[in-house]
Amino acid sequence: MVCMTISAASFAPEYAAVADAPRSDDYARLTRIRERLLALNYSYDAVQELLGVEAAEAMARDQVVPGLWRVEHILRGGYSAGEKNLARLLAFFLLARPLTEAEATEVFGDALVDFENAALIERDAADSTRWTASVDLRPHAADDGTEIFVAADLGAHQRPGVLRKDHVLGIGHASLTLAQITERTPVKRALDVGTGCGIQTFHLLAHAEHVTATDISERALAFTHFNLLLNAQALNIDPQNPQARVSLREGSLLEPVAGELFDLVVSNPPFVITPRVAGESAEEQFTYRDGGLPGDEIVSTMVRQLPSVLVPGGRAQMLGNWEIIRDSEDLEAPRPWDERPRAWVADGGAEAWFIQREALTPASYAETWLKDASENRDRSHYEQTYVAYLNDFASRNVHSIGFGMIWLRRPTEATAAGVTEPLQRFEEITYPIQQPIARALTESVRRYDRLAAMDDEALLAAHLEVAEDVTEERHGRPGAEHPSVILLRAGSGLCRTQLLSTETAGFASASDGELAVGQIVAALAMLLSWPEYDEAAAAARGTQEQHPRDTLLHAVRELVLKSFLHFSDEHAGAASAGENAAEVYAAEAQG
């Protein structure tokens, strides 16, 4: 057992003992708490196994009744003492089930006083013989196998009334989505904007030498401080020198890191569009979701300003909402959803990839976020705020509100100079995709960079092969000699479907990595009796009368960009684990 005390001056002491937040001013105490949780087998897998599939899935929907039913079944059944204590513990921290004095003594043992002094548990104000949870404390398993414990405020399903304005959000759908889209290439410096309970920082520490975590909320940074030290060993943090790997900064958006540069930035900003009220103060806003600006200005500000804190070739991933405006000629129809995001990107000068995952009507959006903070529990307040949402959207002529994933990159010198074409991709994908998706995004961008540096002659010399997850479908009328529809389907990544021409289908069928692109094109030209290719004549005809070769090469580029086709040698010479991601990104962007 490690019994050392961290000097109060050594690591962000201002966040070690914040009111109404877990205390992390005694490392020996945190060590005893962690050891007790481990002794109780309080792990992600153990909790999932004990609850069972139905109760675990219900918990993911913030429904506690199936879990409580399952726990009572365990406590009354022939389960071991260890299993019963684990059931009591998970029900206590995750399902808001109080513990009697006897139960608390059995579950927490000699560490009961440590849990109390760390402000994790407290005596029930209505019944001093019972204990209640002060926080949501849950096990979390990262994709790389790292097991940690994460403390956050109790959610709406775990406590009565409306959430507090400075609520610190725990692990939820949005935070997990961001973690799944974050690229995991090793980097020197990473930035987590709006860290909340610190969940993105914990994931970043697995592949970043140093992480800076910022938040406008003092309580959020107190939770992050606690979680970092509670999990110091699992996160490879030296408890005697945490600042060597992580720093905490208080402030709004990018203000705390002005003038600094990072290789990777991630952010789950307070992007929820909220009606503004004249004379409102910051204390009246739900800081975990409301950035205090009108409309979608939080997201537009981040998109415009993020390149200023990235090294050349550095990347950012974030989530966001954007307003989709009504068409001026047909008020029932929207303008293109990407019209405004494209303008933000142009202002900021970044390369960008937006993927819209859903779009909600103003009414649906209002209902979602009023329920999120349990504002629907006060009928008068609910109705008043609902109307305020509708008036707010109507004032800006909003048709719907989009939500999705945002990928940004600060252009390298070659891209800025126009040597290579900047990546600008805006697409709507509302069907299920592979998760985590980060690796697929990284590989897709790598292919884009390589392809952008290739003219047609270089492409003709390349060797391509069909991705292993791709299948082909052919559809036709009964008795027809040839199919009328040919499709490629990707079984992983973004799970795209691509309609093919006969020529493109023939090309894909022959792409096994052995023949060069030019050899396959030449074979198709002979088979299909194409006219002889004259580059000058083709250029003179323009796009209206493209030569079949140009049409096919355009289609081949699209198949590569959408990851149906891969370069047969693309995994050769992959970057070593210790390389700086910004250097890797820059090298790839320059071909």
pLDDT for 584 equals 45
pLDDT for 376 equals 80
- For residue 152, is it within any domain? no
pLDDT for 412 equals 86
Judged by average pLDDT, the poorest of 36-45, 260-269, 284-293 is 284-293
| Domain end position, chosen among 133, 152, 183 | 133
**Buried b or exposed e, range 519-540, using 16+ CB within 10 angstroms:** ebbbebbeeeebeeeeeeeeee
153, HSE (Cβ side, Cα atoms, 13 Å): 23
Mark whether 127 and 237 lie in a shared domain: no
- For residue 150, is it within any domain? no
pLDDT for 545 equals 67
Q: Is 444 helix (H, G, I), strand (E, B) or coil?
A: helix
pLDDT for 95 equals 94
pLDDT in tens, 358-378: 999 999 999 998 988 788 888
Mark whether 430 and 480 lie in a shared domain: no
pLDDT for 161 equals 80
pLDDT for 589 equals 39
Range of the domain at 573: 452-589
pLDDT for 541 equals 60
pLDDT for 4 equals 43
Q: Name residue 500's beta-bridge partners.
A: 486
Tell me the pLDDT of the chain averaged across its residues: 90
| Domains identified in the chain, total number | 3
Mark whether 108 and 234 lie in a shared domain: no
pLDDT in tens, 391-449: 999 999 999 999 999 999 999 877 776 768 899 999 999 999 999 999 999 999 999 99
- For residue 574, is it within any domain? yes
Average pLDDT over residues 462-471: 97
User: What CATH number is associated with residue 515?
Assistant: 3.90.930.60
- For residue 180, is it within any domain? yes
Closest Cα partner for 563 from 427, 467, 419? 467
Report residue 579's pLDDT band, with 50, 70 and 90 as the boundaries.
Answer: very low
Mark whether 283 and 431 lie in a shared domain: yes
Q: Are 545 and 447 in contact (CB under 8 A)?
A: no
d(CA 179, CA 176): 5
- For residue 303, is it within any domain? yes
Report residue 578's pLDDT band, with 50, 70 and 90 as the boundaries.
Answer: very low
Report residue 292's pLDDT band, with 50, 70 and 90 as the boundaries.
Answer: confident
- For residue 2, is it within any domain? no
| Domain end position, chosen among 109, 133, 157 | 133
Average pLDDT over residues 43-54: 95
Percent of the chain with pLDDT over 70: 93
Burial (CB count <10 Å: 0-12, 13-18, 19+), residue 475? exposed
Mark whether 441 and 456 lie in a shared domain: no
d(CA 239, CA 426): 44
Of the two residues 184 and 11, the one the predictor is more confident about is 184
pLDDT for 542 equals 58
Mark whether 461 and 316 lie in a shared domain: no
pLDDT for 574 equals 46
Report residue 23's pLDDT band, with 50, 70 and 90 as the boundaries.
Answer: very high
d(CA 284, CA 373): 13
Q: Are 482 and 505 in contact (CB under 8 A)?
A: no
- For residue 141, is it within any domain? no
- How many CB atoms are closer than 10 A to CB 480? 9
Closest Cα partner for 250 from 285, 229, 219, 227? 219
pLDDT for 143 equals 80
Report residue 543's pLDDT band, with 50, 70 and 90 as the boundaries.
Answer: low
Average pLDDT over residues 12-40: 96
Mark whether 460 and 508 lie in a shared domain: yes
Average pLDDT over residues 523-546: 78
Mark whether 498 and 425 lie in a shared domain: no
User: What CATH number is associated with residue 341?
Assistant: 3.40.50.150
**Statement: residue 216 has pLDDT above 60:** yes
User: pTM for the full model?
Assistant: 0.90
Mark whether 341 and 456 lie in a shared domain: no
pLDDT for 538 equals 62
Closest Cα partner for 511 from 488, 481, 483? 488
Report residue 540's pLDDT band, with 50, 70 and 90 as the boundaries.
Answer: low
Q: Are 324 and 402 in contact (CB under 8 A)?
A: yes
pLDDT for 588 equals 43
Closest Cα partner for 75 from 102, 39, 110, 115? 102
Average pLDDT over residues 538-563: 84
Mark whether 581 and 476 lie in a shared domain: yes
**Statement: residue 577 has pLDDT above 60:** no
d(CA 556, CA 501): 11
Q: Are 149 and 231 in contact (CB under 8 A)?
A: yes
Mark whether 461 and 542 lie in a shared domain: yes
Judged by average pLDDT, the poorest of 58-67, 93-102, 468-477 is 58-67
Percent of the chain with pLDDT over 90: 77
Q: Is 284 helix (H, G, I), strand (E, B) or coil?
A: helix
pLDDT in tens, 147-187: 999 999 998 888 888 788 889 999 989 999 999 999 999 99
Average pLDDT over residues 440-468: 96
**Statement: residue 536 has pLDDT above 80:** no
Mark whether 214 and 353 lie in a shared domain: yes
| Domain end position, chosen among 83, 113, 133 | 133
- For residue 1, is it within any domain? no
pLDDT for 10 equals 64
pLDDT for 537 equals 65
369, HSE (Cβ side, Cα atoms, 13 Å): 24
